[in-house]
Amino acid sequence: MARTLAKQQAYPASGIVAGLLDARGQRVVTQGTSDADNSRLLDGDTVFDIGSLTKIFTALVLADNIVHGHMAMNDPLAKYLPPNVHVPDFQGQPITLLDLVTYSPGLPGWPADMPKLSQAPFPEYLTERLYQALANTTLTVPPGTQYVYSNFGYGLLGLALAHHADTDFESLVISRICRPLGMESTRITLTPSMQARKSPGHFKELTKVAGWDMPPAFAGAGALRSTANDLLKFLAAATGVKHSSLAAAFAEMLKVERQNDKPDTMVAAGWFITRAHGDRLIWKDGGVLGYSSLLGYSAVHRNGVVVLANGILSGDTWTLGKHLLNPEFPAPA
């Protein structure tokens, strides 16, 4: 597998950590170092920005609320935002929590007034501005009918969950997911220990990038940092290899499937589901400034994989993940 990982390096100094999980246990394989100017080897406790893998945590918090009867998938988004926030609808049809969590809210990928995303720092974008952008948006399709990978939508979902719990998004994730699963290195705000273990991200030219500190407006879409060892704990709970108090919530995430833009792939709550080669792969990838990530498992074989990289992989991260989960899927070229 190390040879397969090496093929995926975007440049010689890029580093990759892969975590593998099955009924026999787990192992971590690494390739490369933390940085071109730093020979510190990567390991399972190296901290990476995980970008859109955050969406799986957001979806899991929602699913846990549903399991405990605090929310319902068909509840309108407006029910969980401050009363002064105007949420648009389509001819009387509201945006629901189900629409948000399955990437079909009828909203664009980013708000219309979102500054260009090119390099660090992430643009300052206040939550009040997001609410105003929401109010100014006109829905052109009914919510729930068209797949759109919407960071706008997941930012709103994270805010709705936090507002309902009367807390902030990071505190909500820590209390509802990280503490029950023993994930001490999954946070938005880096602890001193995490800061010491964090690998910088990189551009293709080998230059380090400071990375993005996403504001609360988009925390639910992509603000978390984590490690391979922490994400393996998450996968152990998701696959049922290890029982957890979140077992019912993980199951709830897979109760709905909607079509996305790939013929062999469906959308669940946060996850994507790909069926082929007699398998059912449940996965999510992520890309954020200077980093790439992948989290997935086989519902048939109950094995899982985590891939974290401190650069943009030259190959398709999901292609690598599929092959590691099931060798019948072609390896990256």
Q: Which domains does the chain have, with CATH numbers?
A: 2-53+187-325 (3.40.710.10), 56-169 (3.40.710.10)
CA distance 28 to 23: 15
Residues forming beta bridges with residue 35, ordered by sequence position: 38
Q: What is the pLDDT of residue 12?
A: 39
Residue 232 and residue 203: Cα distance in Å, rounded?
Answer: 27
SS3 82: coil
Query: Using CA atoms, how far apart are residues 177 and 179, in angstroms rounded to an integer?
Result: 6
pLDDT of residue 315: 59
Which residues is 276 bridged to in the sheet?
Answer: 279
What does each of the 333 residues of the chain score in pLDDT, given as a tens digit?
Answer: 544 554 444 443 468 999 999 988 999 999 887 775 666 789 999 999 999 999 999 999 999 999 999 999 999 999 999 999 999 999 999 999 999 999 999 999 999 999 998 887 899 999 999 999 999 999 999 999 999 999 999 999 999 999 999 999 999 999 999 999 999 999 999 999 999 999 999 887 767 888 899 999 999 999 999 999 999 999 999 999 999 999 999 999 999 999 888 888 999 999 999 999 999 999 999 989 999 999 999 999 999 999 999 987 755 788 889 999 999 999 887
For the four alpha carbons of 255, 259, 260 and 262, in that order, the dihedral sign comes to positive
**Residue 102 one-letter amino acid:** T
Confirm if 52 and 288 have CB atoms less than 8 A apart: yes
Q: In what order do the strands lie in the sheet with 258-259?
A: 25-31, 16-22, 304-309, 291-298, 279-288, 272-276, 265-267, 258-259
For residue 34, give both structure tokens. 């933390």
- Per-position DSSP letters for 98-129, written without gaps between them: HHHHTT-SS--SS-TTPPP--SSSPPP--HHH
CB atoms inside a 10 Å sphere around CB 299? 15
The label of the residue with tokens 């660090």 reads 120
The pLDDT of residue 10: 43
Distances (CA, A) of 111 to 11, 152, 155, 197: 33, 6, 10, 34
End-to-end CA distance of the chain: 14
Task: Return the closest-CA partner of residue 304 out of 3, 6, 24, 64.
Answer: 24
